[in-house]
């Protein structure tokens, strides 16, 4: 279900000087978001190092880190290689306070996805619309939240793919990784998830009608909903800290 542009964004050359850290983040995010799906086999060490523009020793260190963190597994012998585990972690554990740059993450998401919606309303084709519809069907409130979230991420990456701008796909993937870290702090009542998915369905309808104004308005409402929830969470944390002091 993942398209070539999303995979290409994962394997763009890594920029120095933090090649090890960026490699771990890039591959880890792609695994958590389902771009590299469960059971997917990574390219050979030589090929992957060339694609990422890093040394093989740096790549080995990054892969070792991801094996130890439960994202990848290495298989030796014939038919071996490096594979995404069957049930990779969706997010990093929310065992600390909400990250301080959460407003920046949401601002970036708003700017990226509003721009994507404007272009998608002009350019969306039936193949990508079909992916978005499949994602909406997968976002059921009866199943595990991890499945809902993966379909949610894929929906928003597909929105970016409608633009046919690979860099927008890469930026959307990056910001969705940050969003997963934020969303780990939020409760997920079925009513809220169902409402969010109604907005997803509305976005598809707006794209099919080439209605950029409606698509943009729905994206703004969608992002603002998360902003309000996180803002309330941050306020509650501040109140608790004041009471404990």
Residue 243's pLDDT band (cuts 50, 70, 90)? very low
DSSP 125-150: -HHHHHHHHHHHHH--SSS-HHHHHH
Domain residue ranges of the chain, discontinuous segments joined by +? 4-84, 102-244
What is the pLDDT of the chain when averaged over all its residues? 85
What is the pLDDT at residue 183? 86
Among residues 33, 37, 65, 6, the alpha carbon closest in space to that of 179 is found at 33
Residue 92's pLDDT band (cuts 50, 70, 90)? low
For the entire predicted model, the pTM comes to: 0.69
Q: Which residue has the tokens 């880190």?
A: 65
Helix (H) or strand (E) holding 243: helix 212-244
| 115-134 mean pLDDT | 97
The CATH number corresponding to 102-244 among 1.20.120.530, 3.30.70.520, 3.40.50.1220, 2.60.120.10 equals 1.20.120.530
Q: What's the CATH fold of domain 4-84? A: Arc Repressor Mutant, subunit A (1.10.10)
Enumerate the H helices of 81-125 as residue ranges.
Answer: 102-123
What is the pLDDT at residue 16? 65
Residue 199's pLDDT band (cuts 50, 70, 90)? very high
More confident residue, 188 or 124: 124
H helix count then E strand count, the chain:
10, 2
By percentage, how much of the chain surpasses pLDDT 70?
Answer: 87
Residue 168 burial (C-beta neighbours within 10 Å; 0-12, 13-18, 19+):
buried
């Amino acid at each position: 279900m993942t398209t070539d542009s999303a995979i290409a964004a994962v394997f763009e050359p890594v920029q120095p000087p933090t090649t090890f850290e960026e490699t771990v983040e890039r591959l880890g995010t792609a695994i958590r978001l389902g771009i590299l799906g469960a059971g997917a086999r990574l390219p050979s060490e030589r090929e992957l190092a060339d694609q990422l523009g890093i040394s093989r020793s740096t790549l080995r260190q990054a892969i070792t880190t991801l094996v130890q963190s439960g994202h990848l597994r290495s298989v030796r012998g014939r038919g071996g290689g490096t594979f995404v585990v069957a049930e990779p972690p969706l997010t990093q554990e929310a065992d600390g306070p909400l990250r301080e740059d959460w407003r920046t993450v949401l601002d970036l998401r708003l700017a990226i996805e509003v721009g994507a919606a404007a272009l998608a309303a002009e350019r969306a084709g039936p193949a990508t619309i079909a992916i978005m519809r499949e994602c909406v069907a997968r976002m059921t409130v009866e199943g595990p939240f991890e499945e809902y979230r993966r379909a949610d991420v894929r929906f928003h990456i597909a929105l970016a793919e409608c633009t046919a701008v690979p860099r927008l796909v890469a930026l959307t993937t990056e910001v969705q990784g940050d969003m997963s870290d934020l969303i780990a702090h939020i409760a997920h009542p079925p009513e809220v998830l169902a409402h969010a998915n109604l907005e997803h369905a509305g976005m598809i309808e707006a794209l099919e009608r080439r209605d950029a104004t409606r698509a943009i308005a729905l994206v703004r409402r969608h992002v603002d909903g998360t902003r309000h929830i996180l803002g309330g969470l941050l306020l509650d944390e501040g109140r608790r800290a004041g009471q404990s002091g």
